[in-house]
Structures are given as C-alpha cells and as structure tokens.
Structure 1
Amino acid sequence: MKKLLLTAACFLTFAACANGGNSSQKNKTENTNTMKTIALTKADFLTKVANYEKNPTEWKYLGDKPALIDFYASWCGPCKALAPVLEELAAEYGDSIYIYKVNTEEEQELAAAFGIRSIPTLLFVPRDGKPQIAQGALPKASLKEAIDKVLLNK
C-alpha cells in the first residue's frame, strides 16, 4: 500500500507551519453548521475510505464525498494547533466534505500502511483520482485552498 500511495499520490508542496494563534476562532457568524471532525479507526477506514487489505494494488475510494484525513498524535504540538482549525473547516464546509482524524498512537498499523513518519500528515482524498499528501500544520488559508482545488475542483 505504501508503494501504491508513493507512486500514485502527487505530493503537495506546502510549507509546514505551527501557526495556531489565529484569533478568528470566535468569528463564525456566517456559518451555523455544526459538522465536526470524525475519528477513524482502522476498521472504519477500511469501510469508509479504502479497503487496502482487499485491494492492495489499487486505490478505490469508498466515500460518497471528498475527504481530508489528519494523521496526528495527542502529544504533538503542531497537531494540537491544527485541531481547532480542522474543526472550523468541518463547520465551514459542512456536508460537502468529510474531515477525518486518525490517532497514530492508537492506529499504528494504519499509520504504517500509509508510511506516516511525520505528524501531522494530511491526506487529501478526492472522490475521483488519487489521494495527495501534505505534511505539517498548514495555515487555514492554505488548507482552504487545497480543499477547494484538490477536493472540490473549484
């Protein structure tokens, strides 16, 4: 699976940033959506995202809308900075995308299957096409740009 992703995915070249200090968290007046990020286990991943055990050589996304998957750890500073930004994005994008979170400490086998060596690592999964990977705590503006371009084709 690691080989498949490395050859199939085009890596996004975003600079890593641990900027979690944006004070715009309380400025959500234009959106009242209550969508939240969704925790994923390996079993959930196999049924909701891709069954890489059944199809080890072919990427086949199982979801009904694009997804952003955050591979994180609870002790990771940049991951902690990114978490509220992902919650904001889940609320802003509502039901147009899924935002999943995979705890790499609890789901080590899943993280290893994707070759996750640095956290946070973000996997952008469009409905059609290959997933793309970015590493680091990206600023909200960069995440929105990537979501719009890679996931929503805007």
Structure 2
Amino acid sequence: MKRILLLVALLMAGIITYTFAYSQGDEKNKPEKGVVIQMNGDLFLKDITDYNNIKEWKFKGDKPVVIDFYADWCGPCRLVAPLMKELAKEYEDKIIIYRVNVDNEKELATALNIQSLPTILFIPRKGEPQAIIGSASKDTFKQAIEEVLLKKPAK
C-alpha cells in the first residue's frame, strides 16, 4: 500500500512539474512588456536580423527596437541603464528595449562594429538603424525614439 501511495505521489508531482514547466515555456517566447530584455546573439538572429549578413538589413520584428550595448565595467553604461528601464515602461506598448553585454557577446558586437560604450542602437520597423554613441539624457533618448522609431516630427 505504501508503494502505491508513493507511486501516485511521484506521478502527481511529475504531472504538476510538467504542467508548470510547459506553461512557463510559452511565456518565455513572448517579449516582456515594460522591461529591458537581456539579449544574446541567438535572440538577435531570431528577433532582429542576421548579423552575419548586415549589408542587406532586413528587420524581423513587429515593433521598433532599442538595443543598449554595454559592459558591466563601463561607468557611463551604468548611468544609461536606469534610463532604459524608465523608457521601457513609458513605451511598453510601442517599442522593445534590449541590452547586450559586449563582453559576453563579442561576435555580435564585432559584427555590428560596436567600438564605444555605451552604444544605443535605434532600429525602426522600416529603414536603417541609427545610433547614439555614449551616454545621453533621457530627453535625448526620448527624442530619438519619437523621431526615429515612432516617426513623429521634432517639435
């Protein structure tokens, strides 16, 4: 009897674990709203473009994107990070904001010719990406989002 109860308990635990893992897996495939998402080379290939063929830029996303290229040791990068979090919340239904640690993603950073940190890349749905190199104010980033990504004219 004890063996049967143990077997049933193990079976139930397995079903619960599988169900929880399956439902969590579905959520991981959807971009989160209002947060800065850590990006790696594979995610860039899947959601942005093939960085091995940058000469022919073909954006794969359905929302404009901001990518913050940074390093943990970079002081100006640490100043930009909280601004990106604020902007992710402000524009949560309009754009997606990613971060790329260049120390961990050297191949991606090299392919995109990232030479200075921070480099903030603005990728519209149509057209060529544009960049801000170095730290900037929140207003400067907002202006770039409005004009480059959301195509609103300057005031």
1:73 to 71, 74, 86: 71
- In structure 1, list runs of 5 or more residues that go unmatched: 1-33
Which residue pairs with 2:47 in the alignment?
Answer: 48
Q: Quick check: which one's helix share is greater?
A: 2
Q: Is the 8 A contact 2:37 2:98 kept in 1?
A: yes
Q: Deviations over 1:37-61 (max 9, x none)?
A: 01110000000011133x4430000
| Counterpart residue type for residue 47 of structure 1 | K
Matched ranges for 1:3-82 at <5 A:
35-53=34-52, 55-82=53-80
Matched position secondary structure for 1:149: helix
1:92 to 76, 90, 93: 90
Which residue pairs with 2:137 in the alignment?
Answer: 139
| Counterpart residue type for residue 70 of structure 2 | Y
Matched position secondary structure for 2:46: helix
Give me the CA root mean square deviation.
Answer: 1.0
Which residue pairs with 2:148 in the alignment?
Answer: 150
**Following TM superposition, where does structure 1 have runs of at least 4 consecutive aligned residues deviating by more than 6 angstroms?**
none
Q: Deviations over 1:74-126 (max 9, x none)?
A: 11000001100000000001121010100000001100001111100011100
Q: Is the 8 A contact 2:51 2:112 kept in 1?
A: no
Matched position secondary structure for 1:102: strand
Matched position secondary structure for 1:96: coil
Number of equivalences: 120
TM-score (norm 2): 0.75
Larger radius of gyration: 2
Matched position secondary structure for 1:94: coil
Matched position secondary structure for 1:83: helix
| Counterpart residue type for residue 123 of structure 1 | L
TM-score (norm 1): 0.75
Which residue pairs with 1:104 in the alignment?
Answer: 102
Query: What fraction of aligned residue pairs are identical, expressed as a percent?
Result: 50
Q: Distance in 2 between matches of 1:85 and 1:129?
A: 25
